[in-house]
Each structure stands twice: as structure tokens, then as C-alpha cells.
Amino acid sequence: MSVKISNFVVSELDYFRTKCNFTEIERELFDYRAKGISLETCAELMNVSTSTAKRVSARVKEKLNRV
């Protein structure tokens, strides 16, 4: 089962921001996804390929699961 980042409440998002030790690009993607922005649009906004956005997203999800 996959949980959407945009479904978390503000306090949970803040918790993850402080505990996950995101890199700059991971934090940027996390913040966009928290706003419900699609992965493809995130890639465009971040000026990276969709493949790169998917790899970053996988790292973010891995960190969320560990916390």
C-alpha cells in the first residue's frame, strides 16, 4: 500500500522534514509532493528528467519508511 505525501497533516510533514535528513533536492520534491503536485510536474519545476524525479522520490519514500 502506498501513502500519498499530500495526505499527511502539517504536523506530520514538519516531523518528516526535521527527522528525515533530506538533501536539498529531496526536500524540494517532498515539498512539491506535499502540495499534491504530480511527479511529472515536479520534474519540470525542478528542471530534472522524470526518471531523476522518480529516483529522488524513491529515496524520499525510503527515508519516510525508516522514520
DSSP-assigned letter for residue 5: G
- State residue 1's pLDDT score: 47
Sign of CA dihedral 20, 26, 32, 36: negative
> pTM for the full model?
0.92
* Tens-place pLDDT, residues 1-37: 467 899 999 999 999 999 999 999 999 999 999 999 9
Helical H segments across the chain, by residue range: 10-19, 24-34, 39-46, 50-66
Domain ranges of the chain: 28-67
Please give the C-alpha separations between residue 50 and each of 13, 53, 67, in angstroms, as whole numbers. 23, 5, 26
